[in-house]
Amino acid sequence: MATGERLKNILATVVTTGLTEVRAKIFGYVLNPTG
């Protein structure tokens, strides 16, 4: 049970980090479309 919870936490962290990076890329593109 503990292993499953830890795996879920890791997965949530990875997903959150991924979304943050994607959002940063999109935001940067909006601010500087030529770059």
pLDDT at 35: 60
| pLDDT, tens only, 1-35 | 689 999 999 999 999 999 999 999 998 888 887 76
Which pTM was predicted? 0.58
CB neighbourhood size of 12 (10 A): 10
Place of tokens 């943050």: 20
**DSSP string computed for the chain:** -HHHHHHHHHHHHHHHHHHHHHHHHHHHHHH-TT-
